Amino acid sequence: MSDTTPFEPMSNGEVYQPSSAFIAKANVPDWESKTIQAEQDLQGFWSERALELEWYQPWNKVLDDSNKPFYKWFTGGKVNIVHNCLDRYVKTWRRNKLALIWEGEPGDQRSFSYHALNREVCKFASVIKAMGITKGDRVTIYLPRIPEIIIAMLACAKIGAIHSVVYGGFSVESLHGRILDSHSKIAITADGGWMNGKIVKLKDMMDEALRRSPSVEHVIVIKRTGQDVMMEPERDLWYHDLMSLPIASPKCETEVMDAEDPLYILYTSGTTGKPKAVLHTHGGYMVGIYATLKDVFDLKDEDRWWCTADPGWVTGHSYLVYGPLLNGATSFLYEGAPTFPYPNRWWLMIEKYALTILYTAPTAVRGLMRFGEAWPNRHDLSSLRLLGSVGEPINPEAWKWYHRVIGKGNCPIMDTWWQTETGMFIITPTPVMALKPGSATRPYLGVAAEIVDADGQVVPDGEEGFLVLSKPWPAMIRTIYGDPDRYVNQYWSTYPDKYMTGDSARRDKDGYFWIIGRVDDVIKVSGYRLGSAEIESALVSHPAVAEAAAIGLPHEVKGNSIHTYVILRTGFDPSDSLKDEIRNHIGHEIGPIAKPESITFVDNLPKTRSGKIMRRLLKARAQGLPDGDITTLED
């Protein structure tokens, strides 16, 4: 180890170790002893962490596992996550600290101190309260990456309403399904958002989605892009009008919540059927994301944290909105595309705002890598001290580029493995840990990660198996909103008392985990989570499509891309224009991210005797791999 080059490859050339100078500045707990402590006394460990936050009333029990797998955390405790994100800070010097720095794609800028953010949140919370929203009501939020998305989420949480954020890249059917399933009373959207120099017309999509969603009484519209939009009298209200009325009082009490009261639902794609609403709570979720962000990114007061995820996905919820505020940090938010107007946009903003931590997805790294080193090299990136990765396995080549070109060899990369359902980092390094490019390293404190075979037996190190979690953790999914049976079946029915992640992985002799990928029918496209079943049902909703199958195949930049096989209805002939039509149809139904890379017209699809499409076989054939076990294949 040397102090001048913070990282040196170890003997095999694939292990990166932080320098002693870097370690001296890091404020990370002693991991070995903490790991043992958390292993021996899980509840004691989490109770200590929970005490770092403020509670209106302490809990009686850290973990209640009397009704497995419906685990409860901090039962009896009274809290509100917003109290810990804002209320407690505006009483201290921190009210003057920047909570949020924002840049729009056209280059406009806004920033909010903790005081200013709290004021906006209070005002908007007062508005929706005056409109009749109360504890437990659902609110759909469909917004671009503008400060109001954070304000809206926090305003809901403050008064105990349950937010359901729908990613602004989703289209009409996805939005409609989520509004319907959640029975939202109000929806919050914008006229549009900027993406790649174009306006994404969110309000138009909301209007279309609402034609069949009777539960929504009001739509609150933020003026962002300024073009004319239809405002339905009585139903639609401008945000800026509401915020200038006397009902927008800057004084608004934070609702006292039970630790187990729902904070939000977030729809995510599963193996079957339509996306399911993962439910997270005020208490345990708060403790989990607060502690993980603090430990893994060693957040310091002088940091400027940039999580590039959209708030519409879990990474945005946990580590863009709630986690940084719980830690009293300054966050950066950017509205638009990484390459607009040029591929140096991200690097320029890192320089301009002196951002210190960049947390992004491997697909973004690979995408920007394609433009070459000259773009980042034009900028002073010396403010960066840590990097992060999430959403899919990072290939060693991208890891090394990220490390060398963006981190200048000085910034450890925190490759964090987790899921919408886990709420928080589960397998992750710390900044002082030896890193191996492509490995998410080791389980977080108190996490019991195992790799098992089909019978639930732990496999020997080095062998691939199913990744399961055999102990509960506070930020875990509580249920699937409105469908508790599905929660049990999906995650807990394969092995008794073990949470099934849906990923395969192996562990090396040093105890480092290497995530291989999904073993179910979830496809990760550019880090976005989509389901084969969802894409197939969008396909068959096109009038020309009789049957369809969707699979993911490896893709150099996106990680995976969607390939589809379609049987046409009689009377329709295969053509390129029909392919385009079907692709656009999927764009309209789900969103542009779900548009398939290829559509192949076929006469039949491989099915099991019970009629299930054998996607595995399609995948093997497409990659020129052996068929595998086909004993269940229909004739």
Residue nearest to ligand WTA (CB): 420
* Contact pick of 154, 179, 187, 314 for ligand WTA (by CB under 6 A): 314
- Shortest Å, Cβ 98 to ligand WTA: 26
Residue 42 and residue 48: Cα distance in Å, rounded? 10
- Shortest Å, Cβ 595 to ligand WTA: 19
Is the CB of 442 or the CB of 524 nearer to ligand WTA?
524
- Shortest Å, Cβ 588 to ligand WTA: 23
Q: CB burial class (10 A; 0-12, 13-18, 19+) of residue 470?
A: middle
Residue 127 has, within 13 A of its CA and on its CB side, a CA count of 25
Residues 294-313 touching ligand WTA, rule: CB under 6 A, are 313
Is the CB of 104 or the CB of 502 nearer to ligand WTA?
502
Stretch that binds ligand WTA, among 96-104, 184-192, 298-306, 415-423 (CB under 6 A): 415-423
Stretch that binds ligand WTA, among 72-80, 182-190, 390-398, 456-464 (CB under 6 A): 390-398
Residue 528 and residue 507: Cα distance in Å, rounded? 25
* Contact pick of 122, 139, 387, 390 for ligand WTA (by CB under 6 A): 390
Radius of gyration of the chain (CA): 24
- Shortest Å, Cβ 431 to ligand WTA: 16
What's at 455, amino acid-wise?
D
Residue 179 and residue 188: Cα distance in Å, rounded? 11
Pairing, β 513-518 against β 499-507: antiparallel
* Contact pick of 104, 336, 376, 391 for ligand WTA (by CB under 6 A): 391
- Shortest Å, Cβ 180 to ligand WTA: 22
* Contact pick of 346, 401, 417, 512 for ligand WTA (by CB under 6 A): 417
Residue showing tokens 């109770």: 47
* Contact pick of 260, 295, 415, 450 for ligand WTA (by CB under 6 A): 415
Stretch that binds ligand WTA, among 145-153, 386-394, 568-576, 613-621 (CB under 6 A): 386-394
Q: CB burial class (10 A; 0-12, 13-18, 19+) of residue 488?
A: middle
Residue 538 and residue 534: Cα distance in Å, rounded? 6
Cis peptide preceding 147, ω within 30 of 0 = no
- Shortest Å, Cβ 476 to ligand WTA: 13
Residues 256-275 touching ligand WTA, rule: CB under 6 A, are 268
- Shortest Å, Cβ 24 to ligand WTA: 27
Alpha-carbon separation of residue 592 from 5, 172, 185, 300, 587 (angstroms): 43, 11, 27, 38, 4
CA 336 to chain centre: 17
414 is an interface residue for ligand WTA by CB under 6 A = no
114 is an interface residue for ligand WTA by CB under 6 A = no
Is the CB of 414 or the CB of 586 nearer to ligand WTA?
414
Is the CB of 343 or the CB of 592 nearer to ligand WTA?
592
- Shortest Å, Cβ 465 to ligand WTA: 15
Is the CB of 69 or the CB of 160 nearer to ligand WTA?
69
Stretch that binds ligand WTA, among 225-233, 236-244, 246-254, 409-417 (CB under 6 A): 409-417
Task: Give all strands (DSSP E) within 3-104, no chain letters.
Answer: 8-9, 16-17, 61-64, 72-75, 78-79, 98-103
- Shortest Å, Cβ 297 to ligand WTA: 14
Is the CB of 18 or the CB of 388 nearer to ligand WTA?
388
φ/ψ (deg, to 5) at 188: -120, 125
Between helix 114-130 and helix 147-159 the angle, nearest 10°, is 60
Query: What percent of the chain is helix, strand and coil (3-state, nearest 5)?
Result: 30, 25, 45
Strand partners, 388: 359, 414
Is the CB of 86 or the CB of 390 nearer to ligand WTA?
390
Q: Confirm if 305 and 272 have CB atoms less than 8 A apart.
A: no
Please enumerate in sequence order all residues whose Cβ is within 8 A of that of 390, keeping only pairs 6 or more positions apart, or say none: 309, 315, 359, 360, 361, 415, 416, 417, 418, 527
Alpha-carbon separation of residue 18 from 190, 240, 350, 440, 584 (angstroms): 45, 49, 23, 16, 48
Distance separating the N- and C-terminal Cα atoms of the chain: 62
Is the CB of 398 or the CB of 566 nearer to ligand WTA?
398
589 is an interface residue for ligand WTA by CB under 6 A = no
Taking Cα atoms as reference points, which of 274, 272, 314 lies closest to residue 179? 274
Residue 255 and residue 129: Cα distance in Å, rounded? 11
Size of the site for ligand WTA (CB under 6 A): 24
Residue 404: how many other CB atoms lie within 10 Å: 12
* Contact pick of 213, 356, 420, 430 for ligand WTA (by CB under 6 A): 420
Residues 478-507 touching ligand WTA, rule: CB under 6 A, are 501-503
Stretch that binds ligand WTA, among 281-289, 406-414, 515-523, 597-605 (CB under 6 A): 515-523
Is the CB of 210 or the CB of 387 nearer to ligand WTA?
387
Residue 92 and residue 17: Cα distance in Å, rounded? 38
Is the CB of 114 or the CB of 418 nearer to ligand WTA?
418
Task: Give all strands (DSSP E) within 533-584, no chain letters.
Answer: 545-555, 559-568
87 is an interface residue for ligand WTA by CB under 6 A = no
Give the CA-trace dihedral at 171, 172, 176, 178, to 10 degrees: 0
Residue showing tokens 């009629």: 611
Residues 516-535 touching ligand WTA, rule: CB under 6 A, are 517-518, 524, 529
Stretch that binds ligand WTA, among 84-92, 114-122, 289-297, 414-422 (CB under 6 A): 414-422
Q: Confirm if 217 and 185 have CB atoms less than 8 A apart.
A: yes
166 is an interface residue for ligand WTA by CB under 6 A = no
Site track for ligand WTA across 438-477, x = CB under 6 A: --x-------------------------------------
416 is an interface residue for ligand WTA by CB under 6 A = yes
* Contact pick of 171, 315, 479, 532 for ligand WTA (by CB under 6 A): 315
Enumerate binding residues for ligand WTA (CB under 6 A): 268, 313-315, 389-393, 415-420, 440, 501-503, 515, 517-518, 524, 529
